[in-house]
Amino acid sequence: MKNREVAGLLYEMAELLELHAENRFKIIAFSKAARAIESLPEDISLVCREKRLQSISGVGKAIAQKVEEYLKTGRIEAHQELLAKTPPGLVKLLQISGLGPKTVFMLHEKLNITNLEELETAAREHRIRRLPRMGPTRETNILKSIERYKKRSTRILYSTAEPIVNDILAYLRGMGGLEHITAAGSFRRARETVGDIDILATAIRPEEIVAAFVRMPLVEEVLAQGPTKASVIVQETIQVDLRIVEHQSFGTVLQYFTGSKEHNVRLRQLALNRGYSLSEYSLTRLTDSQDLFYDREEDVYAAIGLPYIAPEMREDRGEIEAALRGTLPRLLEPKDMRGDLHVHSDWSDGRASILEMAHAAQALGYEYIALCDHSPSIGIAGGLDPEKLEKKIEAIAAVNKELELEGANFTVLAGTEVDIKADGRLDYVDDLLARCDVVVASVHMGLQQTERAITGRLISAIENENVDIIAHPTGRIIDQREPYEVDMQAVLRAAARTKTVMEINSHPSRLDLNDVNAKAAKEMGVMLCINSDAHDAKQLLNMKYGVNVARRGWLEKKDVLNASSLKDLLSVLRR
Ligand code: DGT
Ligand code: CA
Ligand code: CA
Ligand code: ZN
């Protein structure tokens, strides 16, 4: 499907138009259309062939023509024209966090800055602070952002790696003579980002599998190829390593290549203490130099005297000690999830109706879902004013009646994602919050405030008795936005004291709280919940990414609010 490609191009056009200070409505039209196409559940090429482009909400005649032009010719003339009159370095400046198109345009106009180096020099020479609306703080922030941009990783999101892994496994599973196949490395450990993708397999005729691997349609470049292994590049920058190993040592090799390196170092020390040398291929008994082979990973751990340790925990964060003590947690599983406590609908910036979201959640086997649309200060996301929230509470009651008539054993909870405003107050009065079944509070504005200010805002929200959950508690967006400055210990202490629940937001580029914070929260006695923050029915499936984080944070079913039944949930919410 070319949906992403087309959306990406339209986003870029919006940025270019903005750089050239074009008409605001035109700019908004492009980004709106891009968003709609990005989340379109069907193939854009098909929609185009069937002449239905204009039925996509946000796609008017002009944009439909451009999309059609792209699908037919592979380019958009207007896009090319914009590119031609824009210094190439200028668009890249938009990736420096804190630099919007207006500022970039001004920097170009006033200081003739056309690329990153020129921007950095101007900032160092203090030429930026003298510009209108800039000042020393913004100048320093620009320098910091440039540093971050230069260091930015080439790692990819777990959710980007996932379909690639699935495609490759499915492809190779179709080959004759293949036995085991599995992903290893950081992907198997479900890290939030993945450096490269490692795949291990066993096969009767390894060369055939390697040959098929390098000839897969998605392979763009072959970096190396041997009789039992190969490395390739897919999607321009993503490296995939395949190793075919002997059946008898599959368990040992899988253990080794799952990592992490830190976990493996500890495991090897422990093996040595117990009289074994653990290598990539075998466990060697030191007394008689006997090599022991294991085709199952469990048996490798057992031979060293340990219970099986789930891949997600293999980071040397205490898992070996816990395994030795016999206190490993029984990790949460995807099937334990009973509902989703933070989703949006078309009442604010979501794209599905309340009933559609309910049906989709029910189809996933959930018992409940909480509709939490935005509050008024998030105007850009269609936040609901108080009267509209009251209307929505009534609409949800009606939906529940409808579900009851359908004989569905499913409940829609009336919620809100209330903004914690820059001054620390909540965006609705307490009486209205008290009428909701679930109140999720979160920070969207004033992200640049001091640690003291932001921590204070979060704690005052936590201390409000109507607030049940704090959503995406650190505000980070992987590779795009650092977490805001916040004293997480103080926040977690307040949450533990008031029994406020901390969210693991499952959006694949948020994953917030992250694994380390989630583990800390649990250790401090804080209850967590895992929410999709879905803006359409499909995004409900993002829950699995949050479950990954929970597992990496050692969470068990009992630590997660929405792994409990509706009855237990309601008794915790005490409303
Ligand atoms: P990544 O790709 O950066 O997200 O992280 P990993 O963990 O997938 O690392 P990668 O691809 O370099 O190597 C895969 C696994 O192989 C790694 O998790 C552990 C094992 N491994 C690689 N190099 C070493 C090493 O020098 N020592 C040990 N003990 N294990 C290693
Ligand atoms: Ca890797
Ligand atoms: Ca690798
Ligand atoms: Zn949300």
pLDDT(296) > 70: yes
Do 133 and 160 sit in the same domain of this protein? no
Residues 6 and 133 in one domain: yes
Q: Verify whether ligand 1 is closer than 6 Å to residue 260 (CB atom).
A: yes
Mean pLDDT for 190-211 is: 97
* Final residue of a structural domain among 299, 325, 351: 325
Q: What gap in Å lies between CA 183 and CA 326, rounded to an integer?
A: 27
In this structure, are 339 and 229 located in the same domain?
Answer: no
**424 Rama class: left (phi>0) / alpha (psi -120 to 50) / beta:** left
pLDDT of residue 269: 96
- Give the lowest-confidence range in 56-60, 449-453, 506-510, 519-523: 56-60
Mean pLDDT over 249-265 rounds to 96
Output DSSP code: residue 237. Answer: T
Radius of gyration over every alpha carbon of the chain, rounded to an integer in angstroms: 26
Spatial distance between the Cα atoms of 121 and 118, rounded to a whole number of angstroms: 5
Query: Which pLDDT belongs to residue 485?
Result: 94
From 150, 185, 209, give the residue that closes a domain. 150
Looking at the fold, whether 292 and 344 belong to one and the same domain comes out as no
Q: How many domains does the chain contain in total?
A: 4
- Asked whether residue 575 carries a pLDDT value surpassing 70, the answer given is no
Other Cβ atoms within 10 Å of 82 Cβ, number: 19
252 occurs within a structural domain: no
Inside any domain, residue 253 = no
Amino acid letter for position 61:
K
Proximal ligand: closest to the CA of 223: 3
Is residue 151 predicted with pLDDT exceeding 80? Answer: no
505 Cα to the center of ligand 4, angstroms: 9
- Cβ atoms of 370 and 413 within 8 Å: the answer is yes
CATH of the domain at 222: 3.30.460.10
Q: Tell me how far apart the alpha carbons of residues 9 and 2 are, in angstroms, rounded to a whole number.
A: 11
* The pair of three-digit structure tokens given for residue 126, joined into one six-digit string: 């203090």
Instruction: Return the ligand 1 atom nearest residue 241 CA.
Output: 11
Average pLDDT over residues 114-132: 94
- pLDDT at res. 99: 86
Q: Kindly give the distance from the C-alpha atom of residue 243 to the centroid of ligand 2, in angstroms, as a whole number.
A: 12
Give domain status of residue 254, yes or no: no
Nearest CA to ligand 1 atom 29: 261
Ligand 4 centre to CA of 216 (Å) is: 39
Cα–Cα distance, 274 to 58 (Å, whole number): 66
**Alpha-carbon gap, residue 143 to 499, rounded angstroms:** 40
Is 265 a pocket residue for ligand 1 (Cβ < 6 Å)? yes
290: domain CATH number is 3.30.210.10
Q: Using CA atoms, how far apart are residues 239 and 222, in angstroms rounded to an integer?
A: 10
* C-beta of 185 in contact with ligand 1 (< 6 A): yes
**Contact of 266 with 255, CB cutoff 8 Å:** no
CA 490, 493, 498: angle at the middle one, nearest 5? Answer: 125
Amino acid occupying residue 23: N
Tens of pLDDT along 57-91? 889 999 999 999 999 999 999 999 999 988 878 88
Flag whether 405 is in a domain.
yes
The reported pLDDT for the residue numbered 569 is: 97
pLDDT at 153 > cutoff 70: no
Q: Indicate whether 415 and 460 sit together in one domain.
A: yes
Residue 150 in this model has a pLDDT that exceeds 80: no
- Spatial CA neighbour of 197 closest among 226, 174, 219: 219
- Going by pLDDT thresholds of 50, 70 and 90, the confidence category of residue 18 is confident
Distance from the alpha carbon of residue 147 to the mean position of ligand 1, in angstroms: 27
Q: How far is the CA of 342 from the centre of ligand 4 (A)?
A: 6
Characterize the bridge pairing of strands 219-225 and 229-234. Answer: antiparallel
- Given 186, 215, 244, the domain boundary residue is 244
pLDDT class of 232 with cuts at 50, 70, 90: very high
pLDDT at position 224 over 80: yes
* Residue 295 pLDDT > 90: yes
163 and 218 together in one domain: yes
Tell me, yes or no, whether 496 lies in a domain. yes
The domain spanning residue 135 has which CATH number? 1.10.150.110
Report the nearest-CA residue for atom 3 of ligand 1: 195
- Containing structural domain, residue 390: 334-574
Residues with CB under 5 A from ligand 2 (ion): 185-186, 196, 198
DSSP-derived 3-state class of residue 412 = strand
Helix (H), strand (E), coil (C) string for 459-504:
HHHHHCCCCCEECCCCCCECCCECCCCCCHHHHHHHHHHHCCEEEE
Say whether pLDDT at 180 is over 80.
yes
Name which of 99-108, 167-176, 520-529 the model is least confident about. Answer: 99-108
Q: Are residues 451 and 566 in the same domain?
A: yes
